[in-house]
């Protein structure tokens, strides 16, 4: 980060390829950015394993969090210019809220949330982090936490952080597009922000922005199917899950595995929601270990496991690291049991696996996605006469009900003989 430490009244600035320069607005925010909790995000890829399909998609959560803060700043300016009062304190709070909204993400979180940590999701961990930071910063983050939790009176501030049209999405679509090279995900975030307004304490879009919203929703859908849920990415994520499941199985059986300290803690202890904030390993809490966990722990351990005596573990790790990924088939209907059985037989015979090992090389499951949640807060369009309409009704061209439908697909992953 290109931050000047002179005492001159100069702004702190970060170079960012998406927006040019990002200003750090004040000293409190600067201190949060400098905190080890936030610096960890430099070592957590925003898109997990997507880089195995799109080699450029190696940007980090650190950059995204700063970018979202940058857009939040623009949004605040636009709303103030339209006459909506946002105090300096509220402004700082909402900037901190967006900066920290993803602080609880672990490495490769889609793959890891169910193997390393149980029964606690990244939003809950984010909140634990925020509360911890609030202690350290002597209550200065309280308002940010209220906004994050939607407990502050001004709802629209929460909606800027988390809603169908939050600056989180506005940044990540543009940023994921920039780094992956999938230009179709680039959205007109500037134009959308200029169209923001507030009615009855709710964030709305002015009517002439309706086409921008349609385009935003379609771009998002595009990125979902072309990038985020690309079948090769899913195959890689599922392989990683299987690798970690096997490692967890071995550690549960007291087999000694190489692991970085932070990963070792999560492999050899059972961590769930309850003991997350409280459990102590000597002097360190689960949170402390989680605050150390990043992409490097996972990948370096996988590399070491190629030396493991356990055949499924070492074999999967070798395949994964050399990008010889399992094959994947995707279809709407669940896969026929007989088909799966046949594949299993072939693989078992070919790899000489025993029954308990086979499940790591042939397995099926469901992918679930929805682009627009009709039950959550809606995207409301504000017409000149003051009426409001959900985009689902306002747009004649989009079947928003389709976007909002939870799409389930089935996959079958298997070792290609």
Q: Which parts of 129-148 interact with a second copy (CB under 8 A)? A: none
Shorter beta-carbon distance to a second copy: residue 57 or 128? 57
Closest CA to 412 of 242, 238, 277: 238
Judged by CB under 8 A, does residue 296 bind a second copy?
A: yes
Minimum CB–partner distance for residue 143 and a second copy (Å) = 26
Site string for a second copy, 148-177 (x = CB under 8 A): ------------------------------
> The dihedral of CA 112, 104, 41, 379: what is its sign?
positive
Partnered with residue 327 across adjacent β-strands are 414
Residue 95-124 contact track with a second copy, rule CB under 8 A, x = bound: ------------------------------
Q: Is the dihedral of CA 387, 389, 391, 394 positive or negative?
A: negative
Other beta carbons less than 10 A from residue 161's beta carbon: 25
Residues 182-211 contacting a second copy, CB under 8 A: 182-184, 186-188, 190-191, 194, 211
Span 326-345, contacts to a second copy by CB under 8 A:
none
For residue 138, give the DSSP letter: T
- Cβ neighbourhood burial of 278 (10 Å; 0-12, 13-18, 19+): exposed
Touching a second copy, residues 345-374 (CB under 8 A): none
Give me the least distance between CB of 407 and a second copy, in Å please: 9
Reference 98, options 11, 172, 35, 34; nearest CA is 172
Closer residue to a second copy, CB minimum distance, 167 or 187: 187
Contact pattern from residue 40 through residue 79 relative to a second copy, giving x for each residue in contact according to CB under 8 A and a dash for the rest:
--xx-------xxxxxx-xxx-xx--x-------------
Complex with a second copy: residue 17 or 334, whichever CB lies closer: 17
Q: How far apart are CA 265 and CA 231, in angstroms?
A: 32
By DSSP bridging, strand 380-382 and strand 12-16 are unpaired
By beta-carbon proximity to a second copy, the closer residue of 8 and 356 is 8
Closer residue to a second copy in complex, CB, 114/211 = 211
3-class state of residue 65 by DSSP: helix
Q: Which is nearer to a second copy, 55 or 119 (CB)?
A: 55
Other CB atoms within 10 A of residue 52 CB: 17
Minimum distance between the CB of residue 119 and a second copy, rounded to whole angstroms?
26
Q: For a second copy, which is the closer residue by CB, 109 or 212?
A: 212
| Nearer to a second copy (CB atom), residue 270 or residue 416 | 416
Contact call for residues 386 and 204 (beta carbons, < 8 A)? no
**Residue 322, interface with a second copy (CB under 8 A)?**
yes
CA distances from 296 to 12, 16, 31, 45, 88 (A): 29, 23, 25, 10, 38
Distances (CA, A) of 323 to 10, 51, 228, 317, 327: 47, 11, 18, 10, 11
User: Cβ 400 to a second copy, closest distance in Å?
Assistant: 9
Among 7, 27, 81, 200, binds a second copy (CB under 8 A): 81
Bin 282: left if φ > 0, else alpha if -120 < ψ < 50, else beta: left
252 touches a second copy (CB under 8 A)? no
* CB-nearer residue toward a second copy: 158 or 220: 220
Residues 6+ apart with CB under 8 A from 386: 199
- Supply the DSSP string of 109-122, one letter for each residue: HHHHTTTTSBS--H
Give the interface size with a second copy as a residue count (CB under 8 A).
82
Q: Which residue has the tokens 């696996």?
A: 353
Which is closer to a second copy, CB of 178 or CB of 276?
178
Cβ of residue 321: shortest distance to a second copy, in angstroms?
A: 7
| Residues of this chain, 208-237, that bind a second copy according to CB under 8 A | 211-212, 214-215, 218-219, 221-222, 225-226, 232
Q: Which of 168, 237, 297, 377 binds a second copy (CB under 8 A)?
A: 297
In the region spanning residues 3 to 32, those forming contacts with a second copy, defined by CB under 8 A, are 8-11, 13-18, 20-21
Min dist CB 11 to a second copy, Å, is 6
């Amino acid at each position: 980060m290109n931050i000047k430490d002179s005492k001159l009244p100069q702004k702190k600035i970060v170079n960012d390829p998406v927006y040019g320069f990002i200003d750090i607005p004040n000293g409190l925010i600067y201190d949060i950015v400098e905190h080890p909790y936030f610096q960890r995000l430099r070592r957590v890829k925003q898109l997990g394993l997507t880089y195995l399909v799109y080699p450029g998609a190696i940007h980090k959560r650190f950059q995204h969090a700063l970018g979202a803060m940058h857009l939040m700043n623009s949004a605040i300016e636009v709303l103030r210019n339209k006459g909506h009062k946002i105090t300096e304190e509220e402004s700082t709070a909402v900037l901190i809220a967006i900066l920290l909204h993803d602080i609880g993400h672990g490495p490769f979180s889609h793959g890891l949330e169910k193997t390393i940590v149980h029964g606690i999701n990244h939003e809950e961990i984010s909140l634990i982090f925020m509360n911890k930071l609030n202690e350290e910063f002597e209550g200065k983050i309280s308002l940010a936490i209220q906004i994050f939790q939607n407990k502050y009176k001004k709802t629209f501030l929460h909606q800027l952080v988390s809603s169908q049209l939050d600056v989180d999405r506005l940044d990540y679509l543009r940023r994921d597009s920039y780094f992956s090279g999938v230009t179709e995900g680039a959205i007109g975030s500037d134009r959308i922000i200029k169209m923001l307004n507030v009615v009855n304490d709710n964030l709305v879009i002015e009517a002439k922005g309706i086409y921008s919203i349609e385009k935003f929703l379609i771009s998002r859908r595009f990125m979902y199917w072309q990038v985020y849920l690309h079948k090769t990415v899913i195959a890689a994520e599922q392989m990683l899950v299987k690798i970690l499941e096997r490692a967890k199985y071995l550690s549960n059986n007291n087999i000694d595995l190489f692991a970085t300290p932070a990963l070792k803690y999560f492999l050899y202890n059972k961590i769930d929601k309850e003991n997350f904030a409280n459990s102590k390993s000597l002097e360190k809490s689960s949170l402390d270990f989680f605050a150390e966990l990043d992409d490097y722990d996972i990948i370096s351990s996988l590399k070491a496991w190629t030396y493991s005596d356990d055949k499924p573990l070492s074999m999967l790790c070798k395949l994964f690291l050399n990008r010889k990924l399992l094959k994947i088939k995707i279809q709407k209907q669940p896969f026929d049991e007989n088909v799966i059985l046949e594949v299993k037989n072939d693989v078992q015979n070919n790899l000489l696996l025993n029954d308990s090992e086979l499940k790591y090389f042939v397995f099926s499951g469901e992918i679930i996605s929805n682009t627009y949640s009709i039950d959550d807060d809606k995207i409301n369009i504000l017409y000149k006469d003051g009426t409001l309409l959900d985009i689902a009704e306002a747009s004649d061209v989009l079947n928003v009900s389709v976007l909002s439908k939870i799409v389930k697909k089935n996959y079958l992953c298997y070792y290609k003989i």
